[in-house]
Amino acid sequence: MSINVKMLSRVISFLLLLEAAMMLTATGVSLLYGSEGDLHSLLLSSFITAISGVLFALGGRHAPANIRNRDSFLLVTIAWILWPLFGMLPFLIDGHIPNVTDAFFETMSGFSTTGATILNHIEAMPHGLLYWRSLTQWIGGLGIVFFTIAIFPFFGIGGMQFFAAESAGPTVDKLFPRIVVTARWIWTLYLGLTLLEVLFLLLGHMSLFDAVCHAFTTTSTGGFSPRQDSIAAYHSPYIEYVISIFMILSGINFMMLFTLLRGKFKKFWKDDEWRWFLKSMVLFTAIITAALYFKMNKGVEESFRLALFQVASLHTTCGFATADFMIWPPITWACLTFVMITGACAGSTTGGIKGVRIVSMWRIVESHIKNIIHPQAVFSTKFNGQVIQASLINRIFAYAFCYMLTIGIGALVLMALNVGFIESFGCVISALGGVGPGLGKYGPAATWSSLPDAAKWVLSFIMLIGRLELFTVFVLFTREFWSKH
Amino acid sequence: MINTKMLSKIMGFLLGFTALFMLLTGGVAVLYHEIDTALYPLLKSIGITLIVALIAAYYGKDAKVTFSRRDSFLMITSAWVVVSVLGMLPFLLSGAIPDITNAFFETISGFTTTGATILDDIESLPKSLLFWRSLTQWIGGLGIVFFTIAVLPLFGVGSLHLIAAETSGPVKGKVLPRMGVAAKWIWSIYLTLTIFEVVFLLLGGMNLFESICHAFTTISTGGYSPRQGSIADYHSPYIEYVIAIFMTISGINFSILLLAFSGKIKHFFKDTELRWYIGSVIVFTTLIAYILYARNPINVGFEESFRLAFFQVASLHTSTGYATADYVLWPTVAWALLTLVMLMGACAGSTTGGIKSIRLAIMTRMSLNELKNLIHPHAVLPVRVNNHPISSDIKNRVLSFTFVYLVLVILGSLLMMFEGVGFTESLGCIISAIGNMGPGLGAFGPAVTWNALPDSCKWILSFYMLLGRLELFTVLVLFTPSFWHQN
């Protein structure tokens, strides 16, 4: 049995038609602002995408109704390549980003909810395009939450196996009802959070356009902003606190948020992953607040606010900035780099290694050390009260190993392309975790436009594999995947 | 519980040995007529060490002959610390290194075979003290090979390479005889290699004193040199190749070397870990040679590119730490590759530090299996080393080790940055210390000593050298509350 090409084609057509529809909403925005020249590019792009969607639908007629592991891996990877491929058309056709490398990079940075930008004059862009830019992140975020919670657990990836009931490959009829149910509440929660944030931002005197764009990119922990200076441009403590809180909320496992909304506060509070996230946030905010207060002579409230915002932003891999942390004491941005790697909770839009794995690995090591002292005793490692299976342990560690290896190799490739030491690591860690700002010359005060083209393609690829949890893409490079078995 | 009397007895024994080696050094002092500068301080050091040894032996004279796992962990760690404390006396008492932080750092850098130095003027020291310095590494190297091959596996720590061999799990009764047998052949190989290197170096025109010092610190993969400019000082391609080759050999698992020495060449070449290690050396040498030749930043020819690459790769891969070039001046990607090599280390069961090839081999195969498992979730795919399947237990330990290693690197770097050291420098020093390498990165690269570091950092790094040398868990276990609880 080989790849179910027809079924793949059918699903892709759905995704492309969805994208075309989204582009149409951007044309609406463009019209609202008196079409600053971007209307025709948005309409044309939407049309091209829609036609392609129809073609794929035709190709997927009479598709057999079975989906297996391989189909889903291929599907997800193709989706995240096709979405930016068509999604970059508005920028290219309009001419605002004339270069394919840059256009693809920016759009991949959108759909992968990274937020790294090559735009040096963001505010000169027409409203329709700026809206589309932020929308790509919102779509990308929703897509990944959906896949991570509803689909990946069946195929053993995404770290959500702790929360999934089944983990054997299903047929379409078993998968469908579950997807529909899951989709409904994920969509509700996602939309709800977005709308709530728009409201709070409006109360802070942000314009509706800005509020919507920022809400799009907060809930998806993407980090794109229609302002060149990101959130620092508003000089508003209220806005900074609001966004900090919503970033944190967006970093929590959606299933836990749902639990919280259903009133089960105790169950939420006891979640191992949430507890880790909270402790980590508190620890690093404290360290950086102290560093800013003592070493940079900032006031207490300002130190705390700056620390909280930056930590929340990078811990949840969102990427908004209210300061150039590169001018802060090195230990602060070293800590920030660390949280960029850990990410926040699984089952959210965040990137990074994620709390569920970090907590599990830590506990396994603790068991191991106890085992050294008492070799005959049996120590089981638990997460949220459930024993972690040996096979899962292996997978978690293998993931972390591959993650670090990808960072190492990616950084070496960039260095071979003449990017500096700190910059290479910064860009790769940022891209892999879907964060946004890098380090050194590519820190929060700069854009990534001056990177060599080859580096931008490498980083686009890294954004892709980071968003799709590494293995989804790596598996496509194994012989076993393509063998007719 | 903890058999303090037995620990004390063994410590007395070890210190007695230390005093003996100091006496040997005293002989060197006499040879070079360094009576006031070195001999008297050495005699004083011997005196103090013997007194402590006797007190320890006396305290442990009625020790019960039981030795638990906890005893062994405490023993190993204490041995390295106590011997370093007494081993710094020659430096302190002679005034060669008057500062305690520096003296302890230099000594523990010796016994842990790291090779990072705080001496800005090495050649001004009396020859006998330089001999002692190199000797500490030779002793440390021998000690660690003995411990990792003969002792630790009996207590289930760091026993990876013995997958193909016999031992597994604690075997109380058979401990002493087995250790005795192991000691004999380990010592022979170690001594043989050292002597061979001395001969080859002499043939290269190096004087006897320096040949011995370098042989001491090559076979132990320590890296101390009696020359401030390390091996670069000789400007001799022959010497560079000789040392590069001996470094590479010293990175091989001693159990496997035994196979080669006893004629089982086929088994030697089939060893999984050896293949990974040699393969890695070849790959990195080629990459770096190519970069040096193609970029041509320092106008190097084909042979020189290869020689520079091979030497530095062999040096850092085996955590020796000699240098024939200031690699921080090389293209960034070149010294970044070297940093990766520093993390990797060579084979288990040798004197090298780092994560070690066998673990990397296992983790890579595990990761590949995970990918295959995603496609065939019900398949059972074992990870094999030397054609033996690896148990889940060992797989977990390998992963735990690497995880803890990286966490410690991150934590240590953050601590150093907190003390004001730069990003690249912090990372470089910590990776170098925990891997027992020697040279760092950036402002603390191979052309510079670590003297300019703040005192607090020197203590942190001394601790990291110990951690790395003793395979992390041996030391970390002492920090867990359950270690000290009654049963």
Per-residue pLDDT of B172-231, as tens digits, reads 334 445 666 777 788 889 999 999 999 999 999 999 999 999 999 999 999 999 999 889
> Which range (A445-454, A469-478, B274-283, B376-385) has the least confidence?
B376-385
Residue of B336, B363, B404 with shortest CB distance to A411: B336
CB-CB neighbors (< 8 A) of B440 in chain A: none
User: Would you say B305 and B394 are in contact if contact means Cβ atoms under 8 Å apart?
Assistant: no
Mean pLDDT of B97-121: 94
> Which of A339-348, A359-368, A475-484 comes out lowest in average pLDDT?
A475-484
| Structure confidence at residue B278 (pLDDT) | 95
Cα first-last separation, chain B: 7
pLDDT for residue B162: 40
**A79 within domain boundaries:** yes
A375:B402 CB<8 A:
no
- pLDDT for the residue B191: 93
CB burial readout B62-91, b (16+ within 10 A) else e = ebeeebbbbbbbbbbbbbbbbbbbbbbbbb
So what's the pLDDT on residue A392? 82
Domain limits, chain B: 1-96
Quote the longest CA-to-CA distance of chain A: 75
- What pLDDT score was predicted for residue B438? 92
**Rounded CA separation B399/A396 (Å):** 10
pLDDT of residue B156: 52
- Put simply, the answer to whether A478 touches B375 (Cβ < 8 Å) is yes
Asked if B368 lies within 8 A of A478 by C-beta distance, the reply is yes
What is the pLDDT confidence band of residue B161, given thresholds at 50, 70 and 90? very low
Task: Give pLDDT, residue A154.
Answer: 67
pLDDT band, residue B373 (cuts 50/70/90): confident
Minimal CA separation from A306 to chain B, in Å? 19
- Pick from B18, B149, B138: which is nearest to B81 by CA? B18
**Interface mutation target, options B338, B369, B375, B404, chain A, most CBs of A under 10 Å:** B375
Q: What is the pLDDT of residue B486?
A: 67
State the nearest Cα–Cα gap between B336 and chain A, in angstroms. 7
Among residues 424-453 of chain B, which lie with CB inside 8 Å of chain A?
424
Are the C-beta atoms of B319 and B437 separated by less than 8 Å? yes
Instruction: Specify the 3-state DSSP secondary structure of A112.
Output: coil
How long, in residues, is chain B? 487
From B454's Cα to the closest Cα of chain A, the distance in A is 16
Q: Which residue has the tokens 């972390």?
A: A400
Per-residue pLDDT of A60-114, as tens digits, reads: 888 787 777 788 888 889 999 999 999 999 999 988 899 999 999 999 999 999 9
Judge whether A399 lies within some domain: no
> pLDDT category, A171, cuts 50, 70, 90?
very low
Say which residues have a Cβ less than 8 Å from residue B141's Cβ, sequence separation at least 6: B113, B190, B219, B220, B221, B222, B351
Are A415 and B333 a contacting pair at CB < 8 A? yes
B400, B425, B427, B456, best to mutate vs chain A, most A CBs in 10 Å:
B400
pLDDT top residue among A372 and B12 = B12
CA dist., res. A154 & res. A169, Å (int): 6
A153 Cα to chain B: minimum distance (Å): 11
Sign of CA dihedral B138, B60, B68, B408: negative
Q: Which residues contact A356 (CB under 8 A, 6 or more apart)?
A: A159, A160, A162, A272, A273, A345, A346, A383
Size of interface A-B (CB pairs under 8 A): 134
Q: What is the predicted pLDDT for the residue at A166? A: 39
Amino acid found at B76: I
Q: Which residue in A365, A409, A422 has the most chain B C-beta atoms within 10 A of its own C-beta, making it the best mutation to test that interface?
A: A365
Q: Residue A312 pLDDT more than 90?
A: yes
Amino acid at position A257, single letter: L
d(C-alpha A444, C-alpha A186), whole Å = 31
B367, B393, B426, best to mutate vs chain A, most A CBs in 10 Å: B367
Radius of gyration of chain A (CA): 22
CA-based nearest residue to B137, from B117, B112, B116, B118: B112
Element containing residue B256 per DSSP (H, E): helix B254-261
pLDDT tens per residue, range A116-162: 999 999 999 999 999 999 999 999 999 888 877 777 766 666 666 55
- What are the angstrom distances between the C-alpha of B259 and each of A217, B189, B254? 62, 11, 9
CB B418 to CB A475 under 8 A?
Answer: no
Domain assignment of residue A22, yes or no:
yes
Average pLDDT over residues A270-293: 94
Q: Tell me what pLDDT residue A163 has.
A: 53
**pLDDT above 70 coverage of chain A, percent:** 93
Give the ipTM of the model, two decimals please. 0.86
A382 backbone dihedrals φ, ψ, rounded to 5°: -120, 150
Of the two residues A208 and A368, the one the predictor is more confident about is A208
Print burial letters for A262-299: b (CB count within 10 Å at least 16), e (below 16). eeeeeebeebbbbebbeebbeebbebbbebbbeeeebe
pLDDT at B152: 62
Count of the separate structural domains present in chain A: 1
Specify whether the CB–CB gap between A56 and A82 falls below 8 A: no
* Confidence tier at B483 by pLDDT (50, 70, 90): confident
CA A192 to chain centre: 19
Indicate whether A324 belongs to any domain: no
Task: Encode pLDDT of B348-363 as tens digits.
Answer: 888 999 999 999 999 9
Domain presence at residue A167 = yes
pLDDT at A7: 86
Q: Are B270 and B386 in contact (CB under 8 A)?
A: yes
Asked if the C-beta of B72 comes within 8 angstroms of chain A's C-beta atoms, the answer is no
Look over chain B and give the mean of its residue pLDDT values, rounded to a whole number.
87
- Report yes or no on A239 lying in a domain: yes
**Which residues, 6 or more positions from B284, have their beta carbon under 8 angstroms from its beta carbon?**
B309, B313, B317, B337, B338, B341
Q: Is the pLDDT at A387 greater than 60, yes or no?
A: yes
Name the residue with tokens 């002092």. Answer: B29
Per-residue pLDDT for A386 more than 90?
A: no
Q: What range does the domain containing A98 cover?
A: 5-247
Cβ pair B414:A335 closer than 8 A: yes
Shortest Cα distance, chain A CAs vs residue B275, angstroms: 20
The confidence score (pLDDT) of residue B169 equals 29
Say if A367 falls within a structural domain.
no
Contact A159, A392 (CB under 8 A): no
* pTM for this prediction: 0.90
Query: How far is A394 from A361, CA to CA, in rounded Å?
Result: 10
Please name the residues between 10 and 29 in chain B that touch chain A, using a CB distance below 8 Å.
none
- A66-80, A273-287, B339-353, B447-461: which has the minimum mean pLDDT? A66-80
Report chain A's mean pLDDT, rounded to a whole number.
89
Per-residue pLDDT band at B45 (split at 50, 70, 90):
very high
Look at residue A228 and tell me if it is in a domain.
Answer: yes
Cross-chain residue pair B392–A480, CB shorter than 8 Å: no
Which DSSP category does B10 fall into?
H
CA dihedral B210, B211, B214, B218 (to 10 degrees): 180
Q: Which of residues 388-427 of B touch A (CB under 8 A)?
A: 392, 395-397, 399-400, 402-404, 406, 410, 413-414, 417-418, 422-424
Mutation to test the A interface, candidates B68, B76, B333, most A Cβ within 10 Å: B333
CB contact under 8 Å between B370 and A331, yes or no, is no
Between B109 and B170, the more confident residue is B109
Which among B176, B317, B178 has a CA at the least distance from the CA of B244?
A: B317
Any idea which of A159-173, A284-298, A351-365, A469-483 has the lowest mean pLDDT?
Answer: A159-173
Q: A375 and B170 in contact by Cβ < 8 A?
A: yes
